[in-house]
Structure 1
Amino acid sequence: MSENKHHEHDHHNHDMMAEGHMHHHDNHENQKEHAGHEHHDHSGGMDHSMHMGNLKVKFFVSLILSIPIILLSTMMGKQLPFQFSFPGSDWVVLVLATALFFYGGMPFLKGAKMELDMKSPAMMTLISLGISVAYVYSVYAFIANNLLNSPVHIMDFFWELATLILIMLLGHWIEMNAISNAGNALQKMAELLPNLATVIKEDGSTEEVSLKEVQVGQKVLVKAGEKVPTDGIIIEGKTSINESMVTGESKDVVKGLHDKVIGGSVNGSGAITVEVTGTGESGYLSQVMELVGNAQKEKSRVESMSDKVAKMLFYVALVVGIGAFIIWYVLTKDINIALERMVTVLIIACPHALGLAIPLVTAKSTSLGAKNGLLIKNRQALETAKKVDVIMMDKTGTLTEGNFAVNDYLSFDSTYTKEQVLGLMASLEQNSSHPLSVGVLKKMEELNLSIPQATDITNLPGIGMEGTVDGKDVKIVSVSYMKQQHISFDNDLFNQLSSQGNSVSFLLVDNKSIGLVAQGDQIKEEAKSMIDRLLAQGIKPVMLTGDNRQVAGVVAKQLGIEAVHAELMPEDKEKIVKEYKEKGLVVMMVGDGVNDAPGLVRADIGVAIGAGTDVAIDSADVILVKSNPFDILHFLSLSKNTQRKMVQNLWWGAGYNILAIPLAAGVLAGIGIVLSPAVGAIFMSLSTVIVAINAMTLRIKE
């Protein structure tokens, strides 16, 4: 079996990733609140979530404060049909507007303070500029009109202040909502997996409880074949446990009294009682939660592009606003007209559509990805994906199922039927979770055969297994052992079976060859169509595998992959990735095991299949939670569509301002066209709605 050593990282582990979310769901709730807090970059949108408080409440309270303002104050000095006033109504408006400015506007003002502290004015500063100017100027207008009896009625902007704050809050609420929905999608994936542990109560009875209710110090029963629910210590029973996805140790580890077990590893054939030392939150799997948090925090270049646009608009608004003030004052000698122009420019520059443009697309793509089993850990990967030239794929577990099925079993000795050959193998293998053993045991089950008893079973590393059945010495060995020991076998038969992609194990009884079992790994049904689609997109698939050349060649031929690198050690995979990158190619690497981790880190985009191991999770940029290679195509398509939407939205968001600012400054005043803030506000709302709808129409498939 030596050829198959590399198969030994277990494929149960693919569930782990999503399962991790489940362990940490409670945790996720509190973590979500901190998602934006840990690093304060100047991204406007998301990272100011800390100042947003409960946006839903803020929005509705602000709405209640705004309704009277909208009814009682004129829009840009023009009376709308539904508006009215009464003696003293101006005072009501002033009080409500003040409350609204300090309550509803506070998240933006705090965000602006943060940006200015970092000498990097962006979205929040731009929004704060708009609402502060509107408020301060309106208070000045109120004082001039009501207290100083100004000969000219000075127009106030309370109406604009109210609508601006409302639209801004609504936008940020949508954004936060979309982001937490992406989290919910992860939770939904988690719920597809088992969520219970069998707790042993004081009186010895057992009860199935939800994993999140299990506490340190409790005793849990782990039956054969179940996942170990938490970290703990064995207090009863012995078994072997597959910890490959946790530690990378591919062989089963024998465990007895007082040995430690790790939550998420897979129990073998013995039942054990475990005293809990760490629950989901404190256990090993909590890193999966961090992944989700980090995925939210990663920023892509395009996102900072929206900040660059906001920064530019901030400076443009200041320069144009002050310029407009000076020019209008020189032309008219009327400070009120000049002030009003400047204020209009500053209010109109406030680009809500832009504040929403990128966050909405990002939120939508995160949640779409999650619903389709794609966990995008590094947003940068969405951008790099459009440049990919080569996709390198591990064979076992990525292109193939990684679980072996018996294709043929034969007896060479008339004293044994071929069923007995299979039975003898099963007797040695019944406590092993090696993929080849599992295949044999499955076949016995299918044929409804009983397994003979074996004693003194030992592993022969790199060769196979040995044990005693009915007083006879029984061995399962690889072809290399047969050659080494000069035991004769039918070479043509062996070649024929292995050329079909089978792994062949021989059975020896008292060192005489009496039969063989041929097992093949099944190609995943989606693999072929995925390779065809990649070739159609001009992306070159490359197979990397630790398996022998012959088996790798058979699989590659069936799939239509020309470039095959076989019999590799983990460090070889990384070397090959490096070689391709040195040729100037953009490389994506897809793998599932510890042996793929170095390559995943080295590649431009590392994709982990089902997050087979903690190492693979740490190394990858994207995780295919459903272990379906076809999802690579979904990722490529999501990446292309996300890019397109981001650029479209930046144009929609900023385009409005590019037009509106000069008009507001009065560039066309000579021919009687001056953009009033009212019309500006309407256009601004329109561009916001367009951007939101455009983001929401993002799809994975064309």
Structure 2
Amino acid sequence: MKKMAMTKAPAKDMSNMDMHDMDMDMGNGQMMHMGNLKRKFWVSLILTLPLIIMSPMMGMQLPFQLIFHPWTDYLAAILGTAIFIYGGQPFFSGAKAELANRKPAMMTLIAMGIGVAFVYSIYAVVANNWLQVTPPVTDFFWELATLIDIMLLGHWIEMNTVMNAGSAVDNLAKLLPSSAHKIVAGQVSDVDVAALTTGDHVQVRAGEKIPADGVIVSGATSVNEAMVTGEARLVEKQVDAQVVGGSVNGEGTFEMRITGTGEDGYLAQVMKLVSDAQAAKSAQENMADRVAGLLFYAALTVAIVAFIVWMLVGNLALALSIAVTVLVIACPHALGLAVPLVVARSTAIAASHGLLIRNRDAMEQVKKLNYALMDKTGTLTAGNFKVAEYQSLDSAYTADQVLSIMASLETGSSHPLAVGILKAAKAQELTPVEATDSEQLTGVGLSGTVAGQTYQVVSAAYLDRQKLAYDQAAFNRLASAGNSVSYLIQDQQVLGYAAQGDQIKPEAKNLIDSLKAQHITPVMLTGDNAQSAQVVAKQLGITEVHASLLPEDKAKLVKQYQSDGSHVMMIGDGVNDAPSLASAEIGVAIGSGTDVAIDSADVVLVKSNPNDVVEFLELARNTTRKMTQNLWWGAGYNVITIPLAAGILAPWGFLLNPMVGAVVMSFSTVIVAINAMTLHVKKA
């Protein structure tokens, strides 16, 4: 399955963006400028008002038309031509691109409808005033003008709705301050935020907005991240804690090192994700285009057949009127709005709930899910390890020496187990020295040189594979209590161990229960020992557990579960989860995890909260349902009205007028827009 790589948004001042300066893709690469579209609508509407006075309304003569007679037809033709050329231009440009790609779709249908109406109306003027045909031919300038107005208004509403749907993310960008307190050689000076670069140190004072993404290097505070993560509470921040640009500092003052600014920042990436989501085509959007293409051929065929039939049973004027009605009715405006509005709304909701949807197709896979495979450490557990016990298994080393050497090897590592060992060494007032020649052993541990001696920190599974002797009874006792046990070895000799316990995340139980309620089987995949994994699994209610896994083992298990046609979601946060995240139909990365894992995922949980998986599943299902509803409504409207416009009920005295069809079409568009905006997701 192809994954979408996270791209970086161009660095720019997003706070000054005006909705009227924004462009929107109207299909096949045709861009519509928001301001131009708004202007076209108002100009066309103003020209339509006198046109209503000048032309017959569905065949009815108004008093004003008698006053301006005999020039009413010519004035109506002039106004109608101006509206047709000026207001209809976007639709003909779009149709040209569609036909150039040999894929007639929505814009082609619209252009065909208004084009036929215009030509027929010009014919009516000529026939009535120059040819003096009897009976007089009714022109469609009034219907043409109002149809163009409705189309322009609909696209304006669409663009406005799309932009408003992303307003939650736009507001994040506006949170960035204009200046920051940069620290250089101990001196604080105010600089423009745009001048900050990665690695700079800045001071953030009480109540100020944080200027960029970074890590606290001194001080402590509490931060309001509600606009970023949706979490409506203050989050305590200590040294080494990450902060996000745009969030608001509490009462404390701290110094931070910038890790991301401009195009590297979280807000810029979210803006880029929203932009990509609006422009990219999902499978259902492509289906909407295919449906519109079929409607083009169907409408053209029905119009031709109806024209021929009504020519035989009626006259030219009636046949042309019915053919025009068919083509006007076929305009698929509601179908064109069906999916984009839902996607825009869904993307904005996801961003405000701390969900980054990096591959939108993943949302359409949710309804097929059978299994949710998930890592243990950092996903179901907090990853805050605390050393419960450490011992020497070699008389040449004391327990403190074992812990000190392990801490030396782990210096500089951000792995949860490494952090636990370093904290224990600090608590015992041991002074580790940074190891040289450090090397990560994927799925095993790490190695390095301390005081000229080479050591390794490995798991019990590694000892078993290498058939190295160790105290099995002690391991079973510690592991059955839920501890992860790391061993220090040298030259294939076990020197000692450190056992660490972790805490289950409070939200993990709700995740498992929710998955089961949705008939999705939770499966634990972990590189930890089986006993520790079983302890966590039992507390959470997970019955399928795979422990002591290497990265390739996890990826193989994903494919194994997929082998019978099942669909799999993988949830993880570590480097060893990256292959399985990429292999699964849906890869969900915990936001606090490694960059490798996040880059391999379809969905990123910014808050690292397992409950957000539940919110994602609900949002995905609601989004897919809204898309389907809108597609059915948009296509169903055309399926019903085209035969009516062709005169299928004429034997019973019913012929559908073009204006009535336009009104019904606008009503259908409003329903699609309202349905999209009712999309929501409950807080898990």
Same fold by TM (over 0.5)?
Answer: yes
Counterpart check, 1:175 vs 2:158: yes
Q: In the aligned structure 1, how far is the partner of 2:460 from the partner of 2:518?
A: 42
Say whether residues 1:582 and 2:576 are aligned partners: no
- Aligned-pair CA distance for 1:555: 1.6
Which residue does 2:97 correspond to in 1?
A: 114
1:532 and 1:23, CA in 2 relative to 1: closer, same or farther beyond 3 A?
Answer: farther
Aligned to 2:632: 651
Match of 2:606 among 625, 633, 638: 625
CA offsets, 1:468-511, max 9 Å, x none? 9xxxx9x9988979x99xxx999877654442223467999xxx
| Residues 52/328 of structure 1: CA separation in 2 closer, same or farther (3 Å cut) | farther
Equivalent residue letter for 2:124:
A
Measure how far apart 1:117 and its partner are.
0.9
Once residues 421 and 151 of structure 1 are traced to their aligned partners in structure 2, the CA distance between those partners, rounded to angstroms, is 107
Quick one: which of 557, 560, 568 aligns to 2:541?
560
Gap change, CA 1:561 and 1:629, over 3 Å in 2: same
Say whether residues 1:300 and 2:282 are aligned partners: yes
What are the equivalent positions in structure 2 for 1:198-213 lying under 5 Å apart? 199-200=182-183, 205-207=187-189, 209=191, 211-213=193-195
Task: Indicate the residue corresponding to 1:696 in structure 2.
Answer: 677
Shift of 1:682: 2.1
Secondary structure of 2:281's partner? coil
Distance 1:547 1:35 in 2: 51
Structure 2 letter corresponding to 1:535: K
Which SS does the other structure have where 2:654 is aligned? coil
Kindly indicate whether residue 380 of structure 2 is the aligned counterpart of residue 399 of structure 1.
yes
- Write the distance in 2 (CA, Å) between the matches of 1:352 and 1:639: 25
Q: Does 1:380 align with 2:361?
A: yes
Deviation at 1:405, TM superposition (A): 4.1
What CA distance in whole angstroms lies between the structure 2 residues aligned with 1:23 and 1:361? 28
CA–CA separation in structure 1 for the residues paired with 2:44 and 2:401: 79
1:638 maps to which of 596, 619, 629? 619
Alignment check: 8 A CA contact 2:56 2:142 kept: yes
SS of residue in 1 equivalent to 2:377: helix
Q: Separation in 2 of the partners of 1:340 and 1:436?
A: 78
Deviations 1:369-414 (A, max 9, x none): 22223332333222221111111112222222223246679999xx
Match of 2:641 in 1: 660
Q: Deviations over 1:128-171 (max 9, x none)?
A: 11111122222222333345555543212122222222222222
Aligned to 1:61: 43
Amino acid at match of 1:554: V
Q: 2:659 aligns with which of 678, 688, 699?
A: 678
Cα distance in 1 for residues equivalent to 2:262 and 2:358:
21
1:127 equivalent to 2:110? Answer yes
SS in 1 for 2:57: coil
In structure 1, the residue matched to 2:56 is 74
Q: Compare 618-627 and 379-388 and name the one that shifted more.
A: 618-627
Name the counterpart of 2:231.
none
Partner of 1:615: 596
Amino acid in the other structure paired with 1:120: K
CA deviations over 1:235-292 (Å, ceiling 9, x no partner): xxxxxxxxxxxxxxxxxxxxxxxxxxxx99xxxxxx9999x9x964389998877655
Q: Structure 2 matches for 1:318-337, cutoff 5 A?
A: 318-332=300-314, 334-337=315-318
Closer/same/farther in 2, CA of residues 285 and 633 from structure 1, 3 Å limit:
closer
Consecutive unaligned residues of structure 1, counting only runs of 5 or more, are: 1-16, 38-43, 232-262, 265-270, 413-417
Letter in 1 for 2:153: L
Higher mean alpha-carbon deviation, 577-586 vs 76-85, is at 76-85
Alignment of 1:349 with 2:330, yes or no, is yes
Task: Please tell me the residue identity of whatever aligns with 1:107.
Answer: P
What is the identity percentage for the equivalent residue pairs of Structure 1 and Structure 2?
55
Alignment of 1:153-192 (within 5 A): 153-181=136-164, 183-187=166-170
- 1:241-390 mapped onto 2 (5 Å cutoff): 280-281=262-263, 291-332=273-314, 334-390=315-371
Contact 1:22–1:190 (CA<8 Å) still a contact in 2?
no
Letter in 2 for 1:647: T
What does 1:482-561 align with in structure 2 at a 5 Å threshold?
A: 495-503=476-484, 519-561=500-542
Mapped to 2, the partners of 1:615 and 1:25 lie a distance apart of: 29
Cα pair 1:23 1:280 within 8 Å, conserved: yes
Q: Distance in 1 between matches of 2:271 and 2:356?
A: 12
Q: Which amino acid is the alignment partner of residue 207 of structure 1? A: S
- Summarize the Cα distance change of 1:666–1:229 in structure 2 as closer, same or farther, 3 Å threshold: closer
8 Å contact kept, 2:177–2:211: no
Q: Which residue of 1 is the match for residue 82 of structure 2? A: 99
**Equivalent-residue separation in structure 1 for 2:100 and 2:87 (angstroms):** 22
Q: Secondary structure at the match of 1:75?
A: coil
Judge which range, 56-65 or 160-169, deviates more.
Answer: 56-65
**Alpha-carbon spacing, 1:611–1:305, altered in 2? closer, same or farther (3 Å):** farther
Assess, with a 3 A threshold, how the Cα gap between structure 1 residues 494 and 646 changes in structure 2: closer, same or farther: closer
Match of 2:68 in 1: 86
Deviation at 1:669, TM superposition (A): 2.1
AA of the residue aligned to 2:321: E
**1:671 positional shift:** 2.5
For 1:220, which of 172, 196, 200 is the aligned residue?
Answer: 200
The equivalent residue for 1:591 is: 572
CA contact (8 A) 1:181 1:367 kept: no
TM-score of the superposed pair, with normalisation by structure 1: 0.73
Between the two proteins, the alignment pairs up a number of residues equal to 613
Which residue of 1 is the match for residue 220 of structure 2?
none
Distance of aligned partners of 1:211 and 1:572 in 2 relative to their CA distance in 1, 3 Å threshold: farther
Question: Which AA in structure 1 matches 2:531?
Answer: Q
The 5 Å alignment of 1:408-427 reads none
CA-CA distance at 1:210 after TM superposition: 5.7
Counterpart of 2:675, as a letter, is N
**Counterpart contact for 1:45–1:355, Cα < 8 Å:** no
User: How big is the shift at 1:574?
Assistant: 1.1
Query: Partner letter of residue 285 of structure 2?
Result: E
The alpha carbon displacement at 1:185 in A equals 3.7
Deviation at 1:301, TM superposition (A): 2.5
Q: Distance in 1 between matches of 2:573 and 2:179?
A: 26
Distance in 1 (CA, whole Å) between partners of 2:549 and 2:179 is 39
1:600 to 2:581 alignment:
yes
- 2:436 matches 1:454: no
Tell me, in whole angstroms, the C-alpha distance in 2 between the residues paired with 1:616 and 1:273. 23
Distance in 2 (alpha carbons) for counterparts of 1:371 and 1:26: 17
Unaligned runs of 5+ in 2: 1-5, 205-209, 215-243, 246-254, 394-398, 440-444
TM-score by length of 2: 0.75
Distance change >3 Å, CA 519–CA 56, structure 1 → 2: farther
Relative to structure 1, is the Cα distance of residues 337 and 397 closer, same or farther in structure 2, using a 3 angstrom cutoff?
A: same
Write the distance in 1 (CA, Å) between the matches of 2:389 and 2:13: 46
> Higher relative CO (CA 8 A, sep ≥ 6), structure 1 or 2?
1
Contact residue 348 and residue 661 of structure 1 kept, 8 A: yes
